[in-house]
Amino acid sequence: MSNKSLINKGISRFRPAQWLQKKGLAPHVYLFRNLEKGQVVYSQMPLVSQRQIDPLFLRPNWDNKKPSTRRDLWKCMAVVRVPSHLAAVQLFQNLSRLRYMRDVLYSRENDKLRMKNDMGRVWHSGHFRPGFAQEAVADLKESLLKLDDNSGGEATIFWEDPWRMGDLEKYWTKELPSVKHEMIDRNCNVAREESQILKELAQQTLESMEKP
C-alpha cells in the first residue's frame, strides 16, 4: 500500500460538510489539550470522545499513551473558525493527516526532532509533555496554509490564552497575515462552563453566516 493510501486511510473517519450543516454545527475545528499529559485532540465538535481519540492515537507508546476521555482532563486550547463547512472538513483532514504522518508514517524521523531528557525519552515534567501542544500549533498553521481557495487566510483562531498562540509576528503574520487571532471570551469568569462558552461561540459564528 502506498504512503498516500495509508494517509487517506488514517483520515477516513470524519463528519462530512452536509452532516455538520444538517446538525446545525458551526464551521469550527476544535483543539483540546490534555491537562495531565499534554496531548492534543482535534475535533469537529465541541467535545472529546472515544471517536475523536482513537483515530489520532493509532500507535500509542510509553511517551504517547492513549489518553482517557475523562471530561475534567480536557481543556479547549483553540477554536478555529473558517468560512465554510467544507473548509472546516478540509482543515480537520489536514490536521489528521499531519498527525498520522508524525505518529505512523514518519514516527522515527519525528521522534528525533523532539526534545529528550537524559533518559532519551520525550521531555516531560511529571506526566506532562508540552511538546505535543507545540507540534499541534505548528500543524495548525501548516493545515491552514494548505486549504483550498486561500480560505485558510480568512480564518479566525480563538485561543485559550496568548501563550498558546506564540509569537504573532514570528510564527503567523509573515505567512498568514489575514488570519485573525482572538482570545476565548470567558467574561472575566474562568469558572464558566466551557461547553457553554463554546456553544455561544458557535452561535455567534452561525449568526454571522446568516448576515447578508
- Per-residue cell: 117: 531528557
Q: What is the pLDDT of residue 86?
A: 96
Q: What is the dihedral of CA 162, 167, 171, 177, to 10 degrees?
A: 70
* Amino acid of residue 143: S
Please give the average per-residue pLDDT across 137-164, as a whole number. 90
Instruction: For the chain, give every domain's residue range.
Output: 26-210
* Cβ neighbours of 79 (radius 10 Å): 24
Cα–Cα dist 179/182, whole Å? 10
pLDDT above 90: residue 118: no
* 179 pLDDT above the threshold of 90: yes
Angle, helices 85-100 vs 3-10, to 10°: value is 120
Per-residue model confidence (pLDDT) at position 124: 46
Using DSSP bridges, classify how beta strands 74-81 and 156-159 pair: parallel, antiparallel or unpaired: antiparallel
Band (25; pLDDT cuts 50, 70, 90): very high
Q: In this model, does residue 162 exceed pLDDT 70?
A: yes
Q: 11 pLDDT band (50/70/90 cuts)?
A: very low
End-to-end CA, the chain: 47
Residue 103 scores a pLDDT above 90: no
- pLDDT band of residue 87 (cuts 50, 70, 90) is very high
Cell matching residue 135: 507540534
Summarize pLDDT for 182-202 with one digit per residue, the tens: 999 876 555 468 899 999 999
Residue 19 pLDDT exceeds 60: yes
Query: Is 103 within 8 Å of 53 (Cβ atoms)?
Result: no
Mean pLDDT for the stretch of residues 158-186: 91
